[in-house]
Amino acid sequence: MKQLPFMGVVCTVMLFIIYRTTIFQYQQTEMEQKLDSFYTLKDSGVDTMEKLPRGIIEAKSDLELKPLWTSSSANSKDRAQRSVNLLAMPVGIRQKKNVDAVVRKFLSENFTIVLFHYDGNLDGWWDLRWSEQATHIVALNQTKWWFAKRFLHPAIVSIYDYIFLWDEDLGVKNFHPGRYLDIVKSEGLEISQPALDPNSTGIHHRITIRNRMSTFHRRVYDARGSIKCSDNSEGPPCSGFVEGMAPVFSRSAWHCAWHLIQNDLVHGWGMDIKLGYCAQGDRTKKIGVVDSEYVVHQHTNIGWCICQKVYPSSCLIMLLVVNPEVTTKKHGVDVRLEIRKQSSMELQKFKERWDRAVREDRNWVDPFSSTQRRRFWGYYRHTKA
């Protein structure tokens, strides 16, 4: 009889555990249904694919070009040369020479190449020998993040181990993609970038600058500025941070990062602050900058930026940061000022959406220091000013 109260307590605890588990599973199912809308669209509660046998459903794709007909020799060659990594870049015809140099380096390592043509000029690329091997996507006056959100869905790029999402104005004389990936894999970096040569233009964060004494680094030490970087610094801009100029994602990290990109915030300001949440673990260990394979952020010609009908992302950075005194008039509108205002507005919107999402998701626990997070928002605004 003395065991009855004890058994009652045990039963009560078990019922509580079962109840909490059921609630958690229900919430997870609801969240998965929201995230997986690409695969299963719901209309009035009816599964639009319910009439298909499961075995025929092909939920993924890729960006590989396919021939109209094949032979047995072509099939064996295709299997031998199948790409496992992807390079995607927004490009304009004015950067053709530099893009050519970048693409040839990556093709030598059997990358799939995707070019986003923001200036509408596609015909000017066909004289390059590799052009027919690349996938070309054209949309006038769009940014890198606009293209990435629409054409690099995780279901489309799931066959690739690593996704390089680069700007077009990076000098690659001292960069080798094969050696770069060897370092990334050996160090377990899920998100990374090549270091920037100290002579590069438009350097915003000290952590991205090349350290000549190391192969790679995960943090920077700096006693200057509003944020002091030391061994105790646990987040951006001291550690766990890469810039949006030349990020490299593992497959898992990109699956997360793609969902972080906001469909309507095309300039991407503020997103790089939050990439640490996609590092598949401790961002101070899973994010790094590779020093031995580095690039040069090159100075875009200010003259053609003013005259051209379109303003690519690399040119915008130079207009807004490197030469803030320059005014670019188009139909009586100060384009530089308007784009800067739009970018700043998008940064504020992104912050507000993040804060709202945190408040509404009561089961989410922030693994990072809120103090460091608040300080970095101010620092980030200052670097963009």
CA distance 48 to 37: 11
Residues 99 and 118: their CA atoms lie apart, in Å, by 14
Task: Considering only CA atoms, give the Rg of the chain.
Answer: 24
pLDDT at position 323 over 80 = no
Q: How confident is the model at residue 256 (pLDDT cuts 50, 70, 90)?
A: very high
**How large is the angle between the packed helices 370-384 and 335-360, nearest 10 degrees?**
170
The pLDDT of residue 207: 94
Mean pLDDT across 41-53: 68
The pLDDT value recorded for residue 49 is: 83
State the pTM of this model: 0.80
Domain residue spans of the chain: 82-297, 302-363+370-384
Mean pLDDT taken over the chain: 82
- Contact yes or no for 239/218 (Cβ under 8 A): yes
**Would you state the structure tokens that stand for residue 106, as one six-digit string?**
């990556």
> What are the C-alpha distances in Å from 380 to residues 269, 324, 375?
9, 17, 9
- Highest mean pLDDT range out of 78-82, 249-253, 298-302, 315-319? 249-253
Residue owning tokens 């109260």: 5
Residue 55 near residue 84 (C-beta atoms within 8 A): no
The DSSP result for 42-54, as a single string, is EETTEETTTTS-G
Q: Which of 63, 87, 96 has its CA nearest to residue 312?
A: 96
Report the distance separating Cα 220 and Cα 216, nearest Å.
11
Q: In the prediction, which pLDDT does 376 show?
A: 57
228 pLDDT band, cuts 50/70/90, is confident
pLDDT at 186 over 60: yes
What is the C-alpha to C-alpha distance for residues 289 and 297, in angstroms, rounded to an integer? 15
Average pLDDT estimate for 207-212: 95
Contact 302, 318 (CB under 8 A): yes
Least confident of 62-76, 142-156, 165-179, 338-352: 62-76
Instruction: Lowest mean pLDDT of 74-88, 119-133, 195-209, 319-333, name the range.
Output: 319-333
Distance (Å, rounded) from C-alpha 151 to C-alpha 63?
Answer: 9
What's the CA gap between 203 and 190, in Å, rounded? 23
Place of tokens 């793609």: 258
Residue 15 — pLDDT band, cuts 50, 70, 90?
A: confident
Q: Within 13 A of 224's CA, how many CA atoms are on the CB side?
A: 2
CA distance 73 to 325: 60
Distance CA 318, CA 301 (A): 9
CATH topology of domain 82-297: Spore Coat Polysaccharide Biosynthesis Protein SpsA; Chain A (3.90.550)
If you average pLDDT over each of 163-177, 227-241, 312-326, 355-369, which comes out highest?
A: 163-177
Any alpha helices (H) in 152-260, and if so which ranges?
177-187, 251-260
Across 58-62, 285-289, 371-375, which has the greatest mean pLDDT?
A: 285-289
Q: Which residues contact 341 (CB under 8 A, 6 or more apart)?
A: none
CB contact at 8 A, 102 and 86? no
Cis, peptide link before residue 247, omega less than 30° from 0: no
Cα distance between residue 184 and residue 168, in whole Å: 22
Please give the pLDDT value at position 38: 47
User: How sure is the predictor about 303, in pLDDT bands with cuts at 50, 70 and 90?
Assistant: very low
pLDDT recorded at residue 305? 46
Q: Is the pLDDT assigned to residue 68 strictly greater than 70?
A: yes
Q: Are 218 and 285 in contact (CB under 8 A)?
A: yes
pLDDT value for 43: 46
Tokens describing residue 332: 């009586």
- Going 213 to 248 to 302 to 136, the CA torsion angle's sign is positive
